[in-house]
Amino acid sequence: ATMIVSVAVGWQVYDLTRDPFDLGIVGIVQFLPSLLLVLVTGVVADRFGRRLIMTLATLVEGACALALLFLTLRGLTTPLPIFAVLVMFGIARAFYGPASSSLFANLVPQRDFANAIAWNSSAWQTATIVGPVAGGLLYGVSAEVAYATAAVLMLAAALLIFTIPKPAQQTATDKPTMETLFAGFRYIWSEKIVLGAISLDRFAVLLSGASARLPGSARAI
């Protein structure tokens, strides 16, 4: 569903402005919340129920899809309202990521952990392929259909996440300090391979990924 929104928004913004730079703005307003909240989202995932965080984040994403649907139905003359909604969408994804990544440790026995990670990775890769295709096809029908479909899928996902049996989670009880907040940065800095891989990935998506810039190329062709 998030892929459907990302693809539909890119096409809608480009059809509205015909400015490739705006496609970069679409990417950066979704990326910046993850960057600016990086010290907060991990701490929240450690101290609160990860299932609840994922449910709330998915509900916010669904609300953003409904907001985009409402804006589209009213008619848009500028992409600024879309950018504002995408900021909230990016904030929700920023909190969802750490919570979902660490939930496996609470759900899966240690002996099955590697297998669960493999299945999760396969599901994610499948979604990254199928999602943009679905988003493009749905936007081909209309932007309203794309956003409505995404909203329904997100609300259904939130319900399914909430029905996951409450896992046994050992939450942090000590008071957050600057040392704990920056522990992850120190680890990344000490592991140069990890630092290089993350830096390359972040730089590549800073002004939106390649798929987000496809509307401009496709319209030009």
CATH of residue 38's domain is 1.20.1250
Mean pLDDT across 14-25: 84
What are the distances in angstroms from CA 118 to CA 53, 97, 113, 131?
23, 17, 9, 19
Backbone phi, then psi, for 62, in 5-degree steps? -65, -40
Which stretch of DSSP H or E encloses residue 1?
A: none
Please list, in sequence order, all residues whose beta carbon lies within 8 angstroms of the beta carbon of residue 120, skipping any fewer than 6 positions away. 104
Does position 187 have pLDDT exceeding 90, yes or no?
A: no
From the list 7, 3, 50, 15, the residue with the least C-alpha distance to 136 is 7
What are the distances in angstroms from CA 174 to CA 170, 182, 183?
12, 15, 15
Please give the Cα distance from 41 to 37 (Å, whole number).
6
pLDDT per position as a tens digit, 115-124: 877 887 888 7
Does position 26 have pLDDT exceeding 80, yes or no?
A: yes
Share of the chain above pLDDT 90, in %: 24
| DSSP label of 166 | P
Mean pLDDT across 148-171: 83
The number of distinct structural domains making up the chain is: 1
Residue 221: CB atoms within 10 A of its CB come to 5
- Contact between residue 45 and residue 99 where contact means Cβ atoms under 8 Å apart: yes
Torsion over CA of 139, 142, 148 and 150, rounded to 10 degrees?
0
Does position 59 have pLDDT exceeding 80, yes or no?
A: yes
Domain that holds residue 83: 2-220
Higher pLDDT, 177 or 18: 18
Whole-structure pTM value: 0.77
